[in-house]
Amino acid sequence: MEITKLSGVGVKRAEALAAAGINTVADLLNHFPRDYDDRSNVKTIAELTPDAVNTLRGVVAYEPENASLRLIITKAVVKDHTGTLELVWFNQPYLKKYFKKGGEYIFTGKVRALSYGGADAGPRLQMQSPDYEPSGNGVELSGGRIVPIYTPPKQFSQKTFRALIHQALQLAGTGTFSGETSAFFEFIPSGIREKFSLCGREIAVRNIHFPGCMGEQFRASGTTSPGDDALFLAARRRLVFEELFFMQLTLASMKTAVAARPGLLLANTDYMPFLQSLPFAPTKAQIRVLGEIVADISGGNQMNRLIQGDVGSGKTAVAMAASYLAVKNGYQSAMMAPTDVLANQLYAGFKKIFTPLGFEPVLLTGSLSAKTRRDTLTKITDGRAPIIIGTHALIQAGVNYNNLGLCITDEQHRFGVNQRLSLTRKGNTPHTLVMTATPIPRTLGLILYGDLDISVIDELPPDRQEIKTYCVDSRYRERVHGFIRKETEQGQQVYIICPAISAAVSDGMNTGDMHEETHTQSGSKAEMQNVLNYTQELSAALPGIRIAFLHGRMKPAEKEQIMGSFKSGEIQVLVSTTVIEVGVHVENATLMVIENAERFGLSQLHQLRGRVGRSGLQSYCVMLSDIKNEQTQARMKAMAQTTDGFKLAELDLEQRGSGDFFGTRQHGLPAFTIANLYRDMEILKEAQEAVLKLHEFSLTSEESDAIRRRTEEVSANIFQMREIGVSL
Ligand code: ADP
Ligand code: MG
């Protein structure tokens, strides 16, 4: 149903809603709250708790006043049967007219005890900048209940958006708002709902927006409190199940569709000339995976394969071998990496191997000069570039390939499913290879890589020594300096990781929300080391050692230059943020120092540590942290005990407090509207079971149609995949 049918939604608001993907009343109701604020405990003035947020119902005693100081202060006095209270707002002069003397309102805001209260009267209380709403005329949405908090579209306040949802809920299911396009339409068949104890969609949608407050008819019998947990949980469970169910159905359908799709036949599968040009003999695992790739690309169907292999297991060589076969068969190969630094490094590696073989790779990143970019694009389009290495630049509009036969994404966990698909869409059913070092449990793998076949490189090159790992606190910093001196004197190189760029800035590329999360969850209060100050201090402490820094806010050319100097050995110690986390390869680096180790999750620590130990040399990792809480200690211990990425990933998952494992940054998980894999693992398993056993539910044709339609919708919305041909 069209959104403009709602009162208060004109052309402008409809546009703002559309920009947030809300075109219909059903879309609006599928925009779930991101959080809730329990304001169901309404107090009297006498009961108010100072220095806390309180909800209060009261009558405005006098006409409010505006006072103009440096800002305009609106004051209102509110009374109830227990007393009076002063309320203030800043720079909202229109409120003076909004509140009517004698009118009853509900307020929620912080109550402060003002120090200059009369000596005998105790401290005078004042409520500051409260949220407000007329009371006593039926519906209260912002107080006296559990209040939903949304991420409202631009131009909407919480309050207007909340009111709009409320209006839509009242209309939904009635008159023109019912039927198939209603938000209440049921696309989970009753058989599945029964089996997994899922409530109906109408109850779910109503209760997810206004838990426990949507009227008696939807309240389960025997429940009393407005914060009706059971009903809210049932609503949430149903919607989470639904989201995960359709997500997986979409991925499964994509896989079936791809498997049935004819692929380019790469008949020439002789990779010996390539292997002979490598400076090492491939491991058994590399050869096995290469065999799986060969079977795919010469079998007539499109390859869609994930290569999972721990850091340093030699995934690049396998990617090169596949590229070799693509170009040998006359097709182009494109490989996408998540950072400039990594793309440059891959490019250099490919050039070394492929130039002598007669194939000249090109590099495409966002930081090329206009002329180089133009030339490169021409070569890509006219086919003179057989091998293309780059960043996200590879999937931008305006990049047209001549005959793309193979797409590779490196460090797939740093990309979304969509970005991977975007690269594939640049060709005509090209073969696809994605690589990741992040081992993930099977259940999650189905969500991330449900449409892919999986190969595992479960063996490191033979000459590798275990990285010795130590966990210390800052009392050992002197000794760490000594260690740095010793390694550099022996001609080795050192990485130092700090979580922030400067005292004021964390590294937007890699810290951001995820670290905030880790930070609060570990309750750490330790000062954050930052790259700029650290470099200065270390240079002072270790004169004569060549130290430089690197972070995500530097210009790509600068980064490249620094990485180049580090690779050549000119720089001995590199102080960096986690920009060097993925893929970076400098064999001569043998010591990794991680400052504020408490701020990183296990998977990330493992990635960081993987920057050393990339040759036959003994390497070391020193993690510094002054945080002694249990979780941090457990992480440190795990890191010291094992270098097995799979084990660490499992531990990471067990330590559910970390919040890191499911950071979408680390894994490229699709953005869910309500599901939270960290919390909803059990529901995920049930949804998986439902998808796998769908045929056992003997669906009617209406039920299958509904599922099919919804799956098409999900795949169009989330993956921009149309007509994937959902097979049930
Ligand atoms: P990752 O799997 O983390 O991407 P890389 O592909 O960067 O690992 O490989 C790490 C290092 O190991 C590189 O220097 C690479 O040349 C080397 N390497 C790869 N395979 C072998 C092998 N079979 N024997 C010896 N060294 C190898
Ligand atoms: Mg790699």
- Tens digits of per-residue pLDDT, 125-173? 999 999 999 997 778 899 888 899 999 999 899 999 999 999 999 888 7
CA atoms within 13 A on the CB side of 488: 22
Separation CA 534–CA 233 (nearest Å): 48
- The Å distance, Cα 623 to ligand 1 centre, comes to 25
Check if the beta carbon of residue 584 is closer than 8 Å to that of residue 345. yes
Three-state SS sequence of 389-448: EECHHHHCCCCCCCCEEEEEECCHHHCCHHHHHHHHCCCCCCEEEEEECCCCCHHHHHHH
Name which residue sits closest to atom 18 of ligand 1, judged by CA. 314
What are the tens digits of pLDDT across the range 366-408?
989 999 999 999 999 999 999 999 999 999 989 999 999 999 9
Compute CA distances 662 → 373, 438, 654, whole Å: 36, 12, 12
DSSP class of residue 694 equals G
Check if the beta carbon of residue 727 is closer than 8 Å to that of residue 256. yes
Quote the pLDDT of residue 47.
94
* Atom of ligand 1 lying closest to residue 585 CA: 7
Name which residue sits closest to atom 16 of ligand 1, judged by CA. 314
Quote the pLDDT of residue 581.
64
Quote the pLDDT of residue 223.
40
Ligand 1 binding residues, C-beta < 6 A: 280, 282-283, 286, 309, 311-317, 437, 461, 583, 585, 587, 614
Q: Give the SS3 label for residue 385.
A: coil
Three-state SS sequence of 177-239: HCCCCCCCCCCCCHHHHHHCCCCCHHHHHHHHHCCCCCCHHHCCCCCCCCCCHHHHHHHHHHH
What residue ranges of the chain have pLDDT lower than 50? 213-227, 508-524, 656-666, 722-724
- The Å distance, Cα 315 to ligand 1 centre, comes to 7
Q: Quick one: CA dihedral 626, 631, 637, 638, positive or negative?
A: negative
Separation CA 515–CA 659 (nearest Å): 9
- The Å distance, Cα 122 to ligand 2 centre, comes to 67
Q: Ligand 1: which of 277, 313, 409 to mutate, judged by most atoms within 8 Å of the beta carbon?
A: 313
Helices 602-609 and 630-641, axial angle in degrees (round to 10)? 40
Q: Ligand 1: which of 323, 585, 608, 609 to mutate, judged by most atoms within 8 Å of the beta carbon?
A: 585
Quote the pLDDT of residue 217.
40
Nearest C-alpha neighbor of 341 from the set 495, 563, 494, 609: 563
Separation CA 107–CA 114 (nearest Å): 19
Separation CA 620–CA 599 (nearest Å): 20
Check if the beta carbon of residue 450 is closer than 8 Å to that of residue 252. yes
pTM greater than 0.75: no
Q: Give the SS3 label for residue 89.
A: strand
- The Å distance, Cα 319 to ligand 2 centre, comes to 9
Other residues' Cβ atoms within 10 Å of the Cβ of residue 511: 23
Nearest ligand to residue 337 Cα: 2
Quote the pLDDT of residue 503.
84
Check if the beta carbon of residue 509 is closer than 8 Å to that of residue 577. yes
- The Å distance, Cα 647 to ligand 2 centre, comes to 19
* Atom of ligand 1 lying closest to residue 614 CA: 11
Separation CA 162–CA 269 (nearest Å): 61
Joined together, the tokens standing for residue 120 give: 């005998």
- The Å distance, Cα 343 to ligand 2 centre, comes to 10
Would you list the DSSP string of 511-562?
SHHHHHHHHHHHT--PPPPBHHHHHHHHHHHSTTS-EEEE-TTS-HHHHHHH
First to last CA, the chain: 28
- The Å distance, Cα 97 to ligand 1 centre, comes to 72
Strand partners, 406: 333, 431
Joined together, the tokens standing for residue 225 give: 């409190």
Residue 584 has phi, psi (to 5 degrees) of -60, 135
* Atom of ligand 1 lying closest to residue 610 CA: 3
Check if the beta carbon of residue 203 is closer than 8 Å to that of residue 234. yes
Residues within 5 Å of ion ligand 2, judged at the Cβ atom: 583
Which residues lie below 8 Å from residue 414, measured CB to CB, with a gap of 6+? Answer: 338, 582, 665, 666, 668
Residue 100 has phi, psi (to 5 degrees) of -100, 135
